[in-house]
Every structure is written in C-alpha cells, then in structure tokens.
C-alpha cells in the first residue's frame, strides 16, 4: 500500500514513519467520501490526521440557515466521522467555503502542519480531475506546493525559528481520480465508509442517491485491481 520505507533518504532528512498519514481536504465530508474505507484501514495500523481547509458553511439549501451554525454543525459531524474511523487528530483551517484559493497563507499553514505532523503519505484531491470543485482544485494545488515548502530549508526561515524543521513526505495520493494507478482494497471497510458518510447528516439531502453513487464508484475503482470494493488514487512519489 505504501512504498518502501528507507530509514534515511539520500538528502539526509529523516523520513516520517510509513504509518503516518495526513488527509488534507477542502470540506468536512470529503475525507469520508473520497477515502473513508482507506482511512479505516490505515488507522488500524498507524496514525491518521485530517486537515479540513473550509468548514463548508455555505453547504446548505436552506436559505434561512445561518452559515455560522452550518459551520459548527459540519465540524461536529466531521469530528464524529473521523473518530469513528480511528482518526487521531482533526484540524480545521476555516478558510471561506467556495472561495478557497491557493494563496500563500494556505500553503504556509499546510507546510507548517506537514513539518509538525511528519506524514509519509499525504492524501488530497486530484487537481486535474475533470469533475472538479474549485475548492478541491485550489486545496490540492496548495498541498502540492506545501510539500515543497515543508521539504526545503530555505522556505520561510521563521518555520525553523518556531522549531519546525524540514520534513520530506514519501508519497502523495490524489483521489477521486480518472487517472487511477493505485487501488486500496476496502472490501472489509466498505460498510464503515458508508456509516461514516451517513454521519454527515446535514449533507445527505444534497447528495441524492449517495449510497448508490458511492457503491458504484468503489465497485468501479475496485474492479480495476480485482477487488470487490476499492478506492482509487493517482499515486506519486514526492
Ligand atoms: Zn468537497
């Protein structure tokens, strides 16, 4: 599921444990929708941290709803789903929903978290997906740049001053994708994925036929590798 772990790479950086994974997604329900089955597997064997860039406060069709209360509700739903899947830590960056931009501040926030949490695997959206949401694309682009900022000594020297030394991640997984080259077998955790998605109660009305759509996708991704259910990614070494 992950590449070979070398205790120390040739540039002298300690790699994080291959069991450390960081899921960086735009909205509170994205981790479960794109990789909930994989998270359930990964958290059994290692440490998973979720980073949610926006609270998704505009994610309602109720025109009378207060975006502040929607945000609060969605954070609670995300915490519950993350806890259920065994996620160790969840961080909310609270950027504005629908307006996430790959701005310098977001890249530095993410780079600081990568240096602190030391993931081997980073999972985000596929910024080249045809079916993209602008927030997903902006988040993914910021993640790709943050990996570089986190890795090199000369970006933002203040990071060193606050004790955050460079960290080189090992691999980047991009999903949901049309360019799948890596499938995680989630046959045993598929039900957990469904239950975790169902915890995002505020969103289910806006996801018509969600159970069928999720099942169709994981069946289709799984079939690429001969699994009953799978979650597909475009995997890159970084
Ligand atoms: Zn999303």
Domain boundaries, the chain: 20-237
* Contact in structure between 43 and 90 (CB atoms under 8 Å): no
Cα 21 to ligand 1 centroid, rounded to whole Å? 19
* Contact in structure between 130 and 180 (CB atoms under 8 Å): no
Cα 124 to ligand 1 centroid, rounded to whole Å? 11
Q: What is the pLDDT along the chain (238 residues), one digit of tens a residue?
A: 333 434 344 344 444 577 899 999 999 999 999 999 999 999 999 999 999 999 999 988 889 999 999 999 999 999 999 999 999 999 999 999 999 998 889 999 999 999 999 999 999 999 999 877 999 999 999 999 999 999 999 999 999 999 999 999 999 999 999 999 999 999 999 999 999 999 999 998 888 899 999 999 999 999 999 999 999 999 999 9
pTM (2 decimals)? 0.91
Q: What SS3 class is residue 124? A: strand
Cα 88 to ligand 1 centroid, rounded to whole Å? 21
Cα 176 to ligand 1 centroid, rounded to whole Å? 11
* Contact in structure between 197 and 28 (CB atoms under 8 Å): no
Cα 134 to ligand 1 centroid, rounded to whole Å? 9
Domain 20-237 falls in which CATH fold? Rossmann fold (3.40.50)
Encoding tokens for residue 186?
Answer: 């989630």
Cα 98 to ligand 1 centroid, rounded to whole Å? 9
Cα 128 to ligand 1 centroid, rounded to whole Å? 15
Burial of residue 12 (number of CB atoms within 10 Å: 0-12, 13-18, 19+): exposed
Cα 26 to ligand 1 centroid, rounded to whole Å? 5
* Contact in structure between 146 and 195 (CB atoms under 8 Å): no
């Amino acid at each position: 599921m992950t590449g070979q772990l070398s205790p120390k790479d040739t540039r002298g950086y300690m790699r994080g444990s291959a069991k450390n994974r960081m899921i960086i997604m735009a909205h509170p329900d994205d981790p479960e929708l794109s990789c909930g089955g994989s998270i359930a597997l990964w958290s059994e064997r290692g440490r998973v941290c979720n980073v949610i860039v926006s609270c998704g406060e505009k994610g309602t069709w109720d025109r009378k709803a207060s975006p502040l209360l929607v945000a609060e509700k969605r954070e609670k739903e995300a915490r519950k789903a993350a806890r259920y899947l065994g996620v160790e830590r969840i961080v909310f960056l609270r950027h504005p929903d629908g307006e996430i931009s790959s701005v310098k501040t977001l890249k530095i926030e993410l780079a600081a978290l990568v240096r602190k949490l030391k993931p081997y695997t980073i999972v985000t959206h596929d910024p080249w997906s045809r079916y993209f949401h602008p927030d997903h694309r902006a988040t993914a682009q910021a993640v790709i740049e943050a990996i570089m900022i986190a890795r090199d000594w000369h970006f933002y020297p203040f990071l060193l001053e606050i004790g955050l030394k460079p960290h080189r991640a090992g691999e980047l997984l991009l999903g949901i994708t049309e360019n799948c080259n890596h499938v995680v077998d989630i046959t045993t955790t598929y039900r957990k994925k469904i239950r975790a998605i169902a915890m995002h109660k505020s969103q289910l009305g806006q996801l018509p036929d969600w159970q069928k759509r999720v099942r169709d996708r994981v069946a289709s991704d799984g079939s690429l590798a001969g699994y009953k259910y799978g979650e597909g990614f475009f995997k890159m070494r970084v």
